[in-house]
Amino acid sequence: METLSENIAFGGVQGVYRHKSKVCACDMTFGLFLPEEARDGPVPVLWYLSGLTCTHENAMTKAGAQAWAAEQGIALVFPDTSPRGAGVADDDAYDLGQGAGFYVNATQDPWAPHFRMWDYIAEELPQVIGAEFAIDPERQAITGHSMGGHGALTLAMSLPGRFRSVSAFAPIANPSASSWGRKQLSAYLGADETTWARHDASVMMREVGFDGPVLIDQGSNDQFLDLLKPEALAGALAARRQEASFRMQKGYDHSYFFVSTFIEDHVAFHADALWR
């Protein structure tokens, strides 16, 4: 593993690291904030999955999560959103290819050789971080924004017992019924829509739910509401009678101004579950 940078922040350390990924067959970069308590032993961890066009850096520098994580004594992981590099397939559109991994394992060419973000987030990166840093694997939670909210919700519901809590900011909530989803799922997974179900949070919520608390924040002035389809997820939460809070935040849009406004609530929400 290569250390790209380490900076003191709120008594802890905000680092950026690069390693060779076996599952993605390329170098991958991630951010990791460790609170001061990590000097004395393993700490709980909150995973933050970012959205379309983002890298590890966007949430790390814009969300303002480190201050609240330091207050709660928990670590933050900021993975990248896709494999990258000259030999990695890409597309001219912003919503497919590099920067748009959608947290799936691609089965279709030209994406299959590198785009295995599900395995990277679910298996490889936790092993890499656990081997190098003071992280408690028994106390994990996950959140994300937009495409990352989609990833956080589907991973949490597909890996029972892994995460104690899950939250999302403006998630792509029903991708199998949206042009922000049908395009990518068909490109990465093929035309058989039965393979898409485990990557649709609304479908997953109705079918299996989550074995812990859920928090969703959605801006009422989000410019992508028709693509996100929050009403599908809200209906699935109600139908499942899921332990959840779904909050429509009046006037807020899709930006990191929205995320940074409510990140304190989300960190506190996860800390409550992680420290039980």
Catalytic residue among 80, 95, 200, 222: 222
Q: Across residues 102-121, what is the average pLDDT?
A: 98
Tokens of 223: 């410019």
Residue 165 annotated as catalytic: no
What is the predicted pLDDT for the residue at 58?
98
Catalytic residue among 56, 145, 150, 254: 254
Q: Across residues 234-242, what is the average pLDDT?
A: 97
Strand partners, 26: 21
Catalytic residue among 146, 167, 178, 202: 146
C-alpha pair distances (Å), 99 with each of 38, 72, 123, 235, 263? 31, 30, 20, 30, 23
What is the predicted pLDDT for the residue at 238?
97
- Residue 197's pLDDT band, with cuts at 50, 70 and 90, is very high
Residue 145 annotated as catalytic: no
C-alpha pair distances (Å), 35 with each of 66, 68, 78, 264, 273? 8, 10, 14, 16, 18
pLDDT digits (tens, 9 = 90+) for 172-191: 999 999 999 999 999 999 99
Percent pLDDT > 70 in the chain is 100
3-class DSSP state for residue 272? helix
| Domain 2-275, architecture per CATH | 3-Layer(aba) Sandwich (3.40)
- Residue 122's pLDDT band, with cuts at 50, 70 and 90, is very high
What is the predicted pLDDT for the residue at 169?
98
All structural domains of the chain with their residue ranges: 2-275
Residue (of 160, 139, 274) closest to 211 by Cα position:
160
Residue 222 annotated as catalytic: yes
Q: What distance lies between CA 88 and its chain's CA centroid?
A: 21
